[in-house]
Each structure stands twice: as structure tokens, then as C-alpha cells.
A and B are shown apart, each in its own frame.
Chain A
Amino acid sequence: EDKVVQSPLSLVVHEGDTVTLNCSYEVTNFRSLLWYKQEKKAPTFLFMLTSSGIEKKSGRLSSILDKKELFSILNITATQTGDSAVYLCAVVTQGGSEKLVFGKGTKLTVNP
């Protein structure tokens, strides 16, 4: 059975801290890995990773994939209260359909 595991499940930090969120996976026929941010409503897309070792970056957020060790990390530097959210990791498997297998998410709280 395909599985995606995120850690930690929750994290509380102070503004300005740097955080690293982890996502490991065991799936058949890996295709890509996605990160989403979910505040009160819809998950919003952050990154899609398909190749090992290539860092994706957007402002203070960055992410990288290791297909040999089957994990990805999401880094947030100089955190702000607006970064408080649930961060979701999901894996797309090959096979004709575009199903996502989600982890349970990491709830990040950034205190002023």
C-alpha cells in the first residue's frame, strides 16, 4: 500500500526561526511529489518535485527531493506569523491516473 509520512505532526516556533518539514514516502511507480500549504480553506500549491537534488525555491521557502532515500524536505527561513498553516505533502504515482497520496500534514504555528 502506498504511504506518505510527514514529520513532525506539529511544530511551534518563534518569528524569525528557520524550520524544516519532512516527508518520506513508500509508493510503487513514483512520479512526482507536491507540497501544499493549507490555511483555513483550500490547500494552495507550493512546489512540484520530480528530480532528485534540484532545489525549488520561492522566496523564503525551498524544497528538495531525494529519490534514492525516498524523502523530501520543505524549508522555511525567517518565519513569519503568516506562515502558520498546515503543510501537506503528496505523491503522484504513475499508472494512467493522477491520484495523489497525501501525508497527514504538519501543523506549523509561528508565534510573534
Chain B
Amino acid sequence: DVKVTQSSRYLVKRTGEKVFLECVQDMDHENMFWYRQDPGLGLRLIYFSYDVKMKEKGDIPEGYSVSREKKERFSLILESASTNQTSMYLCASSFGAQPQHFGDGTRLSIL
């Protein structure tokens, strides 16, 4: 079974902090994705990566950056956290055109 692991289930940070969310997958998938999920808005794509050191902007990249130094790990970075980035963050990975597999999510609160 594919395992996508997100480093924290819950995280509380302060406005202005730099925040790192980590995601690791164990199936050698080349594609990895970061979404945020908000009530009434559904899942929205922040960034994705289809190879090591490659990244592409999704629909809402502003205020975020990503890093993919190794194939199994995809990090989401909030450069200077703001309260409107309080959300559930979901990481996913996939192989080719196969369905994406999701991690359990990180519920991030910015105070």
C-alpha cells in the first residue's frame, strides 16, 4: 500500500513565522502535490512537482514556496505566515496517470 506521511497532524504558529510542512512518500512516485482544503472552497492546488528539483505553481501559490531535493520528500514553506493561511494542508503523490494518494493532512493554525 502507498504511504504518504505528513510530519504533523496539528500545528500552531504565529503570524510572521516561517513554517515548514513536510511530506514523505514511500512508493517512488515522481509526482507530488500540495493542496489546502477550506470549508466551502474544497481542495485547491498550491504547488506540485513532477521530478526532483522541479516545481510548478498551482492555482494559489502566493505566500508559499516548495522544495523537492529528494524524490520521496516534498516540503511546503510558508515564508511569513499570515492568519489567512490557517487551513488544512494535504499532500499527495502519484505515478504517471494513476490516481493520487493523499496523506492524513496537517491542520495548521496561524495566531
List the interface of chain A (C-beta within 8 A of B). Answer: 31-32, 34, 36, 41-45, 48, 88, 90, 92, 97-100, 102-105
Contact A42 B97 (CB under 8 A): no
> In the bound complex, do residue B100 and residue A100 qualify as a contact, i.e. CB atoms below 8 Å apart?
yes
Interchain CA distance A18-B66 in the complex, whole Å = 43
Which interface class (under 10, 10 to 19, 20 to 34, 35 or more) fits B? 20 to 34
Q: Are B90 and A43 in contact (CB under 8 A)?
A: yes
Known: A42-B105, A97-B56. A34 touches B40 (CB 8 A): no
Task: Closest A residue to B39 by CB, please name it.
Answer: A104
- Chain A residue numbers with a CB within 8 Å of B102 are 36, 42-44
Q: Given A34-B99, A92-B97, A99-B48, is A42 in contact with B104 using a C-beta cutoff of 8 Å? A: yes
CB distance B4 to A42 under 8 Å?
Answer: yes
B73 to chain A, nearest CB (A): 18
Q: Mark B76-88, 1 if CB is under 8 A from A, else 0.
A: 0000000000000
Which residue of chain B is the closest to A89 with respect to CB atoms? B42
14 contacts between A and B (CB under 8 A): A41-B104, A43-B43, A44-B102, A45-B100, A48-B99, A88-B43, A98-B97, A98-B100, A100-B33, A100-B43, A102-B43, A102-B44, A104-B41, A105-B42
